[in-house]
Structure 1
Amino acid sequence: MLITISYSGPEPGDLGYLLHKHPGRVQSYDLSVGRAHVFYPEFSDERCTAALMLELDALELVSNRHIRLDARKSLDHYVNDRPYVSSSIMSMAMGKVFRTAMTGRCDSRPDLAASAIPLEITLSAVPVHGEVGLPARLFEPLGWKVTEHRLPLDPAFPEWGDSNYVNLTLAGCLRLRDALRQIYVLLPVMDDSKHYWVADDEVGKLLRAGERWLSTHPARGFISNRYLAHRRSMTTQANLLMENDQDATQDKAAEADQTSRPLKVLRTEAVMGALHEERARSVVDMGCGEGALLKILFADPTISTIVGTDVSAQMLDRAEERLRLRELSERQQERLQLLQSSATYLDDRLRGYDAMVLMEVIEHIDLERLPALAAAVFGHAQPKTVVVTTPNAEYNQLYPGLACGSFRHADHRFEWSRSDFQQWTSEQAAQWNYTVEHRGVGEHDDKFGTPTQLALFRRV
């Protein structure tokens, strides 16, 4: 089994300092059931890759009294997938081999260790038990772009279908410490199994590894339950401790700044304000995701017809769950429609609406696809009003945890300055017979402007 960690920053070789493993030699470590090896298959001026490979002794897995395998049949203890898959045994190896890196300590590069850096991590042969898309559900809320390749049961017999094993690629801009801790926790969660007996100290392990990210994860309860082997009392204890920590953090933040409100709230308010100004009664939320804006739109009695679109069917399913559409009356359900579509499609179903909102959408689309987006929105759908929001790249300099030149989200294809955004919006308005007004959203800085920029298009 194999995990690779790739870094492509200004000095790629700094990955060796962060991991406390020298790129110039192979280092091996004894485990209770085999050996772990760390080596660097790639080292150049552009990119550095470190690999953690495990060689497990299948017989040692059977004879080691500390190893627990879910043996349902007499031979299961001897014939199983444990020596070949990235599961809780890999988590154990990571905890030993990358122990210092997981604490976030790096005396040689302390600033880099404390910063979010561009990472690409591959996980081979990961057992995944549960719904389709489970890895994305677990990793995407943490800022990762997830690529999943499900392995066939047998390549020679494709009609047999896919197995429960996947190769995963995670791409994102995170602190290395957080990335390692997330994988450490989520590998056994995806597998829904551990190779050892879960003891009382497991709650402490989960809280330490989940610090700074687990308490706010939308699947926190699911993760805790699986990590703690479905032990109800331990899961309840862990969730209670995380809730207390989260409440304390929020209280401290509120005391520090009584007037501060999250940017996502200010952004939504700005969008709703623009829709009210234009008296929009029918609205399309293009790229609705999990339905954050749809929920606000649905609560507004002045808006009679709402359509949410997303290219991801999985996101639409989450939006349906979030809005509890199946629990609504038939009349209420008719007011809101969810459609699988893309901002670059010429979709006849989206014509004839008062307004269309693209809230934090365009930056997720490749630059060469923006003409197709403009043709679909302004040329084909032709709503009376279009509201577009996107990050202001100039403001990124005021985020202390964001490395210079980095984007706010790993999936962003670009981030525009105010002049870039104004140039693009003005060109679209002139081409498609609209006028455009520019507004700022969020706290204003005299030099860098506001964190979010908004364009309000009105059809002439």
Structure 2
Amino acid sequence: MFLTISTTGTEQTPATDLGFLLHKHPDKRHTRSVSHGTAHVLFPEATVERCSAALLLEVDPVALVRRGKGKGRGGAPDAALGQYVNDRPYAASSLLAVALSAVFSSAMRGVCAARPERVAQPLPLRVEVPALPARGGAELVRALFAPLGWAVTVTPVPLDVRFPEWGDSRYVGLVLEAADGTLTLGEALRHLYVLLPVLDDAKHYWVSPDEVDKLLRAGEGWLAGHPERDVITDRYLARRWSLTRDAKERLELVRLADADDSDVDDIDNAVDEGTDTEEQPVPLAVRRREAILAELADAGAGRVLDLGCGQGQLVQALLKDVRFSEIVGVDVSVRALTVASRRLKLDRLGERQAGRVQLMQGSLAYTDKRLKGYDAAVLSEVIEHLDEARLPALEYAVFGSARPRTVLVTTPNVEYNVRWESLPAGHVRHGDHRFEWTREEFAGWAHRVAERHGYDVRFVPVGDDDPEVGPPTQMAVFSQAAKVADAAEKDQVA
């Protein structure tokens, strides 16, 4: 199996920096043993203007069989001959993806001490894979790579050049180019690591639960919003239902975190430019946070959960108010939590301030004992990012398991959308919103949740309350019913 990665450069940014980024010296041949074979890295050319790195994977077909593996779609596991006569040693597949991860692990993580400034710089990259199984054909290849910023060239490989009437095989030659410099080397490697076995639709090893974490790590920043996300997830995880369900639920929530807290509707925060002396309206995102802080203060909450905290805007606002003694931001996305940590400057906070705030990774689709015992929880612009079929899982995790005394839920009021002049009729405010409710629909859901879990609920308008269509944001304030709260307090004392 064979793959090349090439780039071009100038005197100021030489192409040979590719060797530093890959942690491989261009003047040497590098060899490493990997599962079922040997990986070689060499540089066919290495000049200031152009540099190419080639990964050659030599596979031992006998080892594939002797280790009880290699029994994917390339061969018939119940036929002795079929185990040896198959395409696994010769065609790009999960074997090549594993080799990529093994020999270029630092590059995939974006680590380079010698050229740290180059790690985050997009490169004019060209990737070539001469023999790639593509179950789904050229159309699927383009559908997988094109949304990621690649210019895709796919050349079908004929079954036999001597007999063109036999048609094309399921193999293609693939060329990917990011000539406009939109991708970093680490991003390119992570794309290949995930999508090569996806196109092959077969893996040479048993797919275990830790594959979900591998997929989400490699897919961070691009997979959650990919139009073919479900196809990628199903194939990467070998269609193991329990694993694909877990991955899709986690990716569903990642989409939420990747949208800024002000996603909160790009429209919400749009302010018309006027003269310097014209008073500008307060953005809706700011008014929403102010309303949340006021309700938390009225509830006497000291220990607060921000569920689906995203990039930490609300956590930052809470931290500025000394009434809140403990603030916990929870999100499924490591990337979003990293951004939140930088926003909050956690590494520079004093000991007292640092002791008040914590960021945790977690999924709101599952119960989590770490979330129990808090005064209040906030779900600010979260529920509309989930399919309605997934809401009962979130509902139970928050109201049934964690059971804070107060829960605040905000969500857009779809009736108000007619007031946004820039929003086409029939469109939701943000591309990731799975639904937007009317005031009646939101109230119906909130009353059902309150009744099932022993809460009282009231509703607070956020933003200008239009007499015809209501406010732009609607907020439900859930408070544990008096009898339930008393019982919970006695349990804690006991």
Residues 12-411 of structure 1 mapped to structure 2, 5 A cutoff = 12-70=15-73, 71=76, 73-74=78-79, 75-172=81-178, 173=181, 174-254=183-263, 259=269
- Give, in whole Å, the separation in 2 of the partners of 1:126 and 1:244: 32
Q: How does 1:6-17 map to 2 (within 5 A)?
A: 6-10=6-10, 11-17=14-20
What CA distance in whole angstroms lies between the structure 2 residues aligned with 1:253 and 1:169? 38
TM-score under structure 1 normalisation?
Answer: 0.55
Runs of 4+ off more than 6 Å: none
- d(CA) in 1 for partners of 2:77, 2:22: 39
1:304 corresponding residue in structure 2: none
CA shift in 2, pair 1:22/1:168, >3 Å: same
Residue by residue over 1:288-345, the C-alpha shift from the partner in whole angstroms, topping out at 9 and shown as x without a partner, is: xxxxxxxxxxx889xxxxxxxxxxxxxxxxxxxxxxxxxxxxxxxxxxxxxxxxxxxx
- The alpha-carbon distance between structure 1 residues 132 and 124, as it changes in their structure 2 partners (threshold 3 A), is closer
In 1, Cα distance between the equivalents of 2:269 and 2:112? Answer: 36
Q: C-alpha deviations, 1:44-63, integer Å up to 9, x for none?
A: 22110000001111111111
Cα shift readout 1:242-273 (whole Å, capped 9, x = no counterpart): 11122123243547986269xxxxxxxxxxxx
The structural deviation recorded for 1:28 is 0.4
Q: Could you tell me how far 1:149 is from its partner in structure 2?
A: 0.9
How far has the Cα of 1:146 moved from its partner?
0.3
- Return the offset for 1:189: 0.6
Distance across 2 between alignment mates of 1:69 and 1:235: 18
Contact 1:87–1:127 (CA under 8 A) maintained in structure 2: yes
* Partner Cα separation in structure 2 for residue 27 and residue 132 of structure 1: 33
> Which letter does structure 1 place at the counterpart of 2:84?
Y
- The letter for the 2-side match of 1:48 is C
Match of 2:280 in 1: none
Secondary structure of the 1:18 match is: helix
Cross-structure match for 2:367: none
- 1:424-439 equivalences in 2 (<5 Å): none
Distance change in 2, residues 1:253/1:175 (3 Å) = farther
Structure 2 residue aligned with 1:454: none
Instruction: Give the distance between the partners of 1:253 and 1:131, measured in 2 at CA.
Output: 40
Aligned equivalents of 2:265 and 2:118: distance in 1? 27
Q: Distance in 1 between matches of 2:90 and 2:9?
A: 32
Which residue type is aligned with residue 96 of structure 1?
Answer: A
Helix, strand or coil for the counterpart of 1:211? Answer: coil
Mapped to 1, the partners of 2:177 and 2:24 lie a distance apart of 22
Q: Deviations over 1:45-97 (max 9, x none)?
A: 21100000011111111112354434255022111000100110000100100
Q: What is the rounded CA distance, in whole Å, between the counterparts of 2:119 and 2:260 in structure 1?
A: 28
Cα drift, residue 227 of structure 1: 0.5
Aligned partner of residue 242 in structure 1, secondary structure: helix
Runs (5+) with no aligned partner, structure 1: 262-298, 302-460
Distance 2:69 2:228 in 1: 30
Report the Cα distance in structure 2 between the residues aligned to 1:26 and 1:73, rounded to whole angstroms.
39
Alignment correspondent of 1:2: 2
Give the gaps of 5 or more residues in structure 2. Answer: 272-423, 427-494
| DSSP 3-state at the match of 1:83 | coil
Q: What letter corresponds to residue 7 of structure 2 in structure 1?
A: Y
Cα 1:131–1:149 change in 2 (3 A) is closer
Number of corresponding residues: 264
Q: Is the 8 A contact 1:68 1:197 kept in 2?
A: no
1:207-250 CA distances to partner (integer Å, 9 max, x unpaired)? 00000000010000111011010112211111111111221232
* Aligned partner letter, 1:4: T
% identical equivalent positions: 48
Q: Which gives a bigger RCO, structure 1 or 2 (Cα 8 Å, sep 6+)?
A: 1
Q: Highest CA radius of gyration, 1 or 2?
A: 2
Q: Distance in 2 between matches of 1:152 and 1:131?
A: 13
Deviations 1:14-50 (A, max 9, x none): 0001100000100001122111100000112211000
For the residue of structure 1 that corresponds to 2:89, the secondary structure is helix
SS at 1:77 equivalent = helix
Work out the CA distance in 1 between the residues paired with 2:264 and 2:113.
33
Aligned residue type for 2:27: G
C-alpha distance after superposition, 1:391-443 (max 9, x if no partner): xxxxxxxxxxxxxxxxxxxxxxxxxxxxxxxxxxxxxxxxxxxxxxxxxxxxx
- Residues 138, 219 of structure 1: 8 Å contact kept: yes
Q: CA RMSD in A?
A: 2.1
CA change 1:253–1:4 in 2 (3 A) is farther
> Are the counterparts in 1 of residues 137 and 170 from structure 2 also a CA contact under 8 Å?
no
Taking structure 2 as the reference length, the TM-score comes to 0.51
Cα distance in 1, alignment partners of residues 82 and 43 from structure 2: 35
Instruction: Label 1:224 to 1:113 Cα distance change in 2 as closer, same or farther (>3 A).
Output: same
